[in-house]
Structure 1
Amino acid sequence: MNDEWIVTFEIAATLFAGLGLFFVGIRLISEHLRQLADRRLRTLVGRATASDRSAAALGLVGGAISQSIHAVIFVLISLVTAGVLDARRAQPVINFANLGTSLLVLIAALDLSLMVFILVGVTGLLFYFDRDQSARLRHLIRALLGIGLLFLGLIFIKEGAKPLADLPWMTELMSLSAQSLLIAFVTGLVFAVIAHSASSITIVTMALAASGVIDLEYGLMVVYGAGFGTGISTLVLAASHKGLGRQLALYQFILKAMGLALLLPLFWIEFYGGIPLVAALLAALPVGIGFQIAFSYVLYQIACDMVMHPFHHRVADYLERKAPPTAEETLGKPKYLYAGAQNDAGSALMLAEQEQLRLLRHLPEYLDGVRDEIPQPRHDRVSLQRGGTQVADATAQFLDEILSGALSGATLDHAIVLKSRNELIGSLQETLNDLVIEVERARTGKDSAEARALTHGLIETLHMMLLTLNDAARTEDADDIELLQSLTHDRSELMDSIRRRLLTGGELVGSTRDAVFGATSLFERGVWLLRRYSLLLASPEGARHEAPETAATSA
């Protein structure tokens, strides 16, 4: 008995070491291989179209490169929430990304022991000679080390588990396998949720099956549980997401549930009814049990896609009702820009100008939260800031792509002016956001009444200027532009008088006075930015020539 437990302890230690190496390898691969491919992956996904073929290719490449469905989903979430990709077009990519993660599972079914030993040795030497410190090779070397450690861990698991089949207690345990199928399913599910990877637990299951510890039916239940577990783990990881991000997380959960709804009944019919179905098909393949379990993993991903395909539109409609876009996502999605528009520079500049006018229309809303006349703002400040920043950044990138082309004459001048306007819009967004924060801080102190009286005029004056800017930018009427320039004329004397009043008066003290001081400085900056913008509009004679001088003086 003592000898048996000593052998058991040695086996457990070997398996534990193998699991440790395996998970270190997974971590290195996920961190460094994704660093190598992240930019390319984002570019590929960002160019996705409604074509099923392109969605399949993008998903397969993304899943195979990252070896993490969660990595692909969160890249898609970032692209969808940024307005680069439509949520409906992103959903089919998830189907095939799940299938792409099968690559590692299939490779793990091969006997690569000699290659693994060489790989670990080579990467060890590269580390010894500090080649991993190279900025160009660092991620590649560490990703290769991760691959080597992953497969070395599998070798430990395979070799360590072989003696298990000869132990009496394991023989008794395997005889109870018919009653432990539910445990197998739960085991796969729990490990997939904890490790955030179905492929990882599948590969470990393959190693145990190849050692004779578990049979095919038990392995199938682990795979099915792990597959469904990735749907649950996606929901857990995306718990903080709302709107479009929540849609994609729910889609992954429903996708996995659909595949399980097809395969699990077939398993029970085969197991209890004696009708040869999936397990019989896999067992008939002229390969070992490791490959059979690997193919069951691939089969699960295919089943998910097959069941989802006829219901995709209904599922997408349900998700749009269940998790509609947030205000921030709606505000942050460009309305006029689209891929390929840059090919016609003239039309593209008109689209960029329309996007800028849309951003200008939202600028007065930044102040609604601190205006007495607006009891309930249409949009909250945070959503306006984040959404507006996304659109401004997208417009800036759009204009950069136009400017990188061959432009000349009026088209080049127009593009440069729009680029300058876009920078001013971004500065205005930031300034208005900071101004509202300072005003809110000033009005929350014990001197809130005095602070409200002092800041009321600043807010209303700036709001009126922003409305005038909208009129001038929309119409480019000379009178409107002249009015805006008159309103934004140098107000330094007025602001100095307000500051002197704050210093000499005793109405405000401490943090409240500091907040009002900050608000006056931000108001002054806002007026200066509006002045700069007015000089970039199609203004009367003389105004255009004032821009360089004003900019130089202000700088």
Structure 2
Amino acid sequence: MEILFGLVGGLGLFLFGMHNMADGLQKTAGHRLKRLLEVLTTNRVTGVLVGAAVTALLQSSSTVTVMTVGFVNARLMTLQQAVGVIMGANIGTTVTAQLIAFRLDDYALPAIGVGVALLMFAKRERVKFVGQVLMGFGMLFLGLEVMTSGLRPLRESAAIREILLSLGDNPLLGVVFGVGITAVLQSSSASIGLLQSMAAEGLIPLRSALPILFGDNIGTTITAVLSGIGASVTAKRAAAVHVVFNVIGTVLFLLAMPLMTPVIAATSSDIVRQIANAHAIFNIANTIIQLPFAGAIVWLVVRLVPDRTRLELLEVPRHLDVRLLETPSVAINVSRDEIFEMAALARETVSLPLSALLENGGPEDVERALAVEQKVNQLNLSITEYLSKLAAERLSNEQSEMVAVLISNAANIERVGDHGENIAELVQVSQEEQLPFSDTAKQELRQLVETTLRAYDLALEAWREADPAKAKEVFELEKQVDAMERSMRASHIERLNRGECHPTSGVVFLDLASNLERIADHAANIADQVVEGRAR
């Protein structure tokens, strides 16, 4: 029972420490992580480097692979780009094993003490994140020490030693064992850390440890496979790439194991370091071997995971993916992209019916505007729900403020869509009743439309570029719209008194002007976030 408690408790500390260290590193990195991911190109080598760097930061290849599946599902990354990132993720995950091999147990408690002190007493948020990293680092090594101590009594068990030794003679059994352990723990770093603890206590030789290590690399793909359930076929293929890559690598290294074992043994006299080196050699060599055949891997997974559905549901948001919520900086970025797409649709709800009115268009433009407005409503609901889930994650103060800005701007854009719907219905009435508008009224309305849409477009541009100067221009345009709307009301009353205007046309005309004036107000609300420095 003492062995079980030590193993379970140590493993819990290890996983908790690794999670806190990764969370602190991610928050410290902030939007640098987003910018790192944005350098992805069709160049697979760049993808490998980015995948390795992000995984080293997050301390989890499973997290990065799941994130990659989310990117593919959100159409932010192609399957070809995903191949390089997944290969790089396997390399990045070797950092934890190398850290463990340094035997930094003596520094675990001081790291926890300093980390907790920074978390409790530091004023600056970034210093608190550093404290979280230190605390996680210390707990990781403390958990490793507890695991190692818990396994120590097993050295006296001849039966356990015999079973573990037999894995060297039955490597396939070792692979299955590694797959099973990693699938249960949902972390190859944890399962490899456990393997290193067993080796440190002399429970398992290198020859038996290698097949388990290879199995650990296959087991870590289970997380990505599970994340692909319910995703697009391309996202499922991205998960399949991870499986195929690691299975092929395991087969190759099992065949080469008689040659590789003495090479790995020669890299260090310490078996814990030998296992860390074997993990690195496996993943780096596997990437070098398979990267030139990335196209063939894509060809294979396309046939393994056929596309049985050809229909694309327009109502489904393009970028939002729950898999990305675990990486808030990325989730914020994709939410922003989705809001800009909603903004383009909201603009259509305004421009289409007014174009139909002023340029003698047909009823189909009005019908399309009304249909697009429904899409805007659906998108707003999806975005708000997604951001609410994101707000429940562990966010930094800066990230929480950015989420609040996104929710506010999405609401303003949705209201623009509502005013677009009002405009479409007014134009529909004018078309059905064939209401006349004077040339003067049309010219005034045309100028108001141009100024309003200019304010709206400039507000979005200012937000996208975080440009306060452009945001201030929006305020000037909004004042112009207010003045134009007041002038139009006065001109309309004069025309009405002179009998130059149809009464019903006048009501529609004033309602159109009022809705446009409200759209300019919402544009100013978006610009205000930029001027205040909240929108980034």
| Structures share fold, TM-score greater than 0.5 | yes
Name the residue aligned to 2:220: 230
Taking the aligned partners of 1:201 and 1:140, their CA distance within structure 2 comes to 26
Between 44-53 and 137-146, the greater mean CA deviation after superposition? 44-53
Name the residue aligned to 2:348: 360
Structure 1 pair 97/379, CA: closer, same or farther in 2 (3 Å)?
A: farther
Q: Is residue 2:30 matched to residue 1:33?
A: no
Cα displacement (A) at 1:151: 0.7
Cα displacement (A) at 1:120: 2.5
Cα displacement (A) at 1:279: 1.8
- The counterpart of 2:230, out of the listed 228, 240, 263, is 240
Q: Which deviations, in whole Å up to 9, do the C-alpha atoms of 1:178-205 show, x marking residues without a partner? A: 5664443223212322332212211110
Amino acid aligned to 2:43:
S
Any conservation in 2 of the 1:243–1:326 contact (CA below 8 Å)? Answer: no
Name the residue aligned to 1:526: none
Any conservation in 1 of the 2:46–2:84 contact (CA below 8 Å)? Answer: no
Q: 1 or 2 for the larger relative contact order (CA 8 Å, sep ≥6)?
A: 2
Taking the aligned partners of 1:424 and 1:307, their CA distance within structure 2 comes to 52
Any conservation in 2 of the 1:81–1:329 contact (CA below 8 Å)? Answer: no
Any conservation in 1 of the 2:50–2:85 contact (CA below 8 Å)? Answer: yes
TM-score (norm 1): 0.59
Any conservation in 1 of the 2:40–2:50 contact (CA below 8 Å)? Answer: yes
The residue correspondences of 1:62-141 to structure 2 (distance < 5 A) are 62-80=54-72, 84-126=76-118, 130-131=120-121, 135-141=125-131
Taking the aligned partners of 1:308 and 1:167, their CA distance within structure 2 comes to 41
Structure 1: runs of 5 or more not aligned: 1-8, 268-275, 334-351, 366-370, 391-421, 436-457, 468-477, 490-528
Taking the aligned partners of 2:13 and 2:186, their CA distance within structure 1 comes to 17
**How high is the sequence identity, in percent, across the aligned residues?**
22
Name the residue aligned to 1:149: 139
Q: Is residue 2:281 matched to residue 1:299?
A: yes
The residue correspondences of 1:456-467 to structure 2 (distance < 5 A) are 461=425
Find the residue that maps to 2:269 and give its secondary structure.
Answer: coil
The residue correspondences of 1:270-285 to structure 2 (distance < 5 A) are 276-285=258-267
Amino acid aligned to 2:96:
L
Between 300-309 and 73-82, the greater mean CA deviation after superposition? 73-82
Taking the aligned partners of 1:285 and 1:250, their CA distance within structure 2 comes to 33
Name the residue aligned to 1:49: 41
TM-score (norm 2): 0.61
Taking the aligned partners of 1:381 and 1:147, their CA distance within structure 2 comes to 49
Structure 1 pair 125/54, CA: closer, same or farther in 2 (3 Å)?
A: same
Amino acid aligned to 2:240:
L
Cα displacement (A) at 1:162: 3.3
Structure 1 pair 176/263, CA: closer, same or farther in 2 (3 Å)?
A: closer
Find the residue that maps to 1:137 and give its secondary structure.
Answer: helix
Any conservation in 1 of the 2:11–2:144 contact (CA below 8 Å)? Answer: yes
Cα displacement (A) at 1:228: 0.7
Q: Is residue 2:484 matched to residue 1:546?
A: yes
Q: Is residue 2:253 matched to residue 1:263?
A: yes
Taking the aligned partners of 1:90 and 1:173, their CA distance within structure 2 comes to 39
Name the residue aligned to 1:316: 298
Structure 1 pair 547/84, CA: closer, same or farther in 2 (3 Å)?
A: farther
Q: Is residue 2:141 matched to residue 1:159?
A: no
Taking the aligned partners of 1:331 and 1:484, their CA distance within structure 2 comes to 37
Name the residue aligned to 1:492: none
Find the residue that maps to 1:239 and give its secondary structure.
Answer: coil
Any conservation in 1 of the 2:11–2:190 contact (CA below 8 Å)? Answer: no
Structure 1 pair 237/86, CA: closer, same or farther in 2 (3 Å)?
A: closer
Structure 1 pair 296/328, CA: closer, same or farther in 2 (3 Å)?
A: farther
Amino acid aligned to 1:289:
I
Taking the aligned partners of 1:214 and 1:47, their CA distance within structure 2 comes to 42
Cα displacement (A) at 1:211: 0.9
Taking the aligned partners of 1:465 and 1:118, their CA distance within structure 2 comes to 75
Any conservation in 1 of the 2:73–2:231 contact (CA below 8 Å)? Answer: no
Cα displacement (A) at 1:102: 0.8
Taking the aligned partners of 2:114 and 2:32, their CA distance within structure 1 comes to 27
Amino acid aligned to 2:484:
E
Taking the aligned partners of 2:148 and 2:5, their CA distance within structure 1 comes to 13
Taking the aligned partners of 1:331 and 1:140, their CA distance within structure 2 comes to 36
Cα displacement (A) at 1:33: 2.4
Q: Is residue 2:206 matched to residue 1:216?
A: yes
Cα displacement (A) at 1:356: 4.7
Name the residue aligned to 1:413: none
Cα displacement (A) at 1:116: 2.4
- The counterpart of 2:16, out of the listed 24, 27, 52, is 24
Structure 1 pair 254/431, CA: closer, same or farther in 2 (3 Å)?
A: farther
Find the residue that maps to 2:152 and give its secondary structure.
Answer: helix
Find the residue that maps to 2:256 and give its secondary structure.
Answer: helix
Amino acid aligned to 1:299:
I
Q: Which deviations, in whole Å up to 9, do the C-alpha atoms of 1:442-468 show, x marking residues without a partner? A: xxxxxxxxxxxxxxxx9995796999x
Amino acid aligned to 1:44:
L
Any conservation in 1 of the 2:20–2:132 contact (CA below 8 Å)? Answer: yes
- The counterpart of 1:286, out of the listed 268, 276, 289, is 268
Name the residue aligned to 1:271: none
Cα displacement (A) at 1:227: 0.6
Q: Which deviations, in whole Å up to 9, do the C-alpha atoms of 1:40-61 show, x marking residues without a partner? A: 1111111222334532332221
Any conservation in 2 of the 1:485–1:534 contact (CA below 8 Å)? Answer: no
Cα displacement (A) at 1:69: 1.8
Cα displacement (A) at 1:78: 4.9
Any conservation in 1 of the 2:267–2:277 contact (CA below 8 Å)? Answer: no
Any conservation in 2 of the 1:192–1:230 contact (CA below 8 Å)? Answer: yes
Amino acid aligned to 2:14:
F
Find the residue that maps to 2:230 and give its secondary structure.
Answer: coil
Structure 1 pair 381/172, CA: closer, same or farther in 2 (3 Å)?
A: same
Structure 1 pair 532/123, CA: closer, same or farther in 2 (3 Å)?
A: closer
Cα displacement (A) at 1:92: 0.9
Structure 2: runs of 5 or more not aligned: 320-339, 354-363, 384-409, 432-437, 458-479, 488-512, 522-536
Cα displacement (A) at 1:145: 0.8
Cα displacement (A) at 1:311: 2.7
Taking the aligned partners of 2:486 and 2:35, their CA distance within structure 1 comes to 38
Q: Which deviations, in whole Å up to 9, do the C-alpha atoms of 1:349-377 show, x marking residues without a partner? A: xxx99x95997399989xxxxx9xx9xx9
Taking the aligned partners of 1:230 and 1:157, their CA distance within structure 2 comes to 21
Any conservation in 2 of the 1:131–1:137 contact (CA below 8 Å)? Answer: no
Taking the aligned partners of 1:300 and 1:466, their CA distance within structure 2 comes to 72
- Alignment RMSD, CA only? 4.9
Find the residue that maps to 1:222 and give its secondary structure.
Answer: helix
Amino acid aligned to 1:97:
A
Structure 1 pair 256/176, CA: closer, same or farther in 2 (3 Å)?
A: closer
Q: Which deviations, in whole Å up to 9, do the C-alpha atoms of 1:238-289 show, x marking residues without a partner? A: 323214433432322222222223223334xxxxxxxx31223212333321
Aligned residues: 402
Structure 1 pair 97/533, CA: closer, same or farther in 2 (3 Å)?
A: same
